[in-house]
Amino acid sequence: MSHLEKFATVDPFKGMNGNNPGKCQNLVSGQWRDEKEYFDNVPDPLNGEDFLKIPNTKNVDEFIKNLGDCPKSGLHNPLKNVDRYVMLGNVCAKAAEVMRDKEVEDFFIRLIQRVMPKTDNQCYGEVKVTRVFLENFAGDGVRFLGRGFSNPGDHVGQESSGYRWPYGPVVIIAPFNFPLEIPALQFMGALFMGNRPLIKSATTVGVVFEQFLRMLIYCGLPITDADMIHCGGSTMGNLIKDSNEKIRMLQFTGSSQVAEQLSQDMNGRIRVEDAGFDWKVIGPDYSSEWADYVAWQCDEDAYNASGQKCSAQSILFVHENWTDHLMPRLKKLVERRRLIT
> Residue 155 contacts by C-beta under 8 Å, 6 or more apart in sequence?
none
Q: Provide the sign of the torsion angle of the four alpha carbons 67, 73, 78, 80, taken in this order.
A: negative
Which neighbouring-strand residues pair with 174? 201
Angstrom CA distances, 308 to 176, 189, 311, stand at 9, 25, 8
Query: Which listed residue (273, 298, 320, 335) is catalytic?
Result: 273
Among candidate residues 49, 62, 135, 310, the one labeled active-site is 310
**Catalytic residue check, 24:** no
Nearest to 12 by CA among 115, 149, 92: 115
Rounded CA-CA distance 168/266 in Å is 15
CA nearest neighbour of 134 among 108, 95, 105? 95
Please confirm, yes or no, whether 289 is among the known catalytic residues. no
Instruction: Point out the residues that are catalytic.
Output: 273, 310
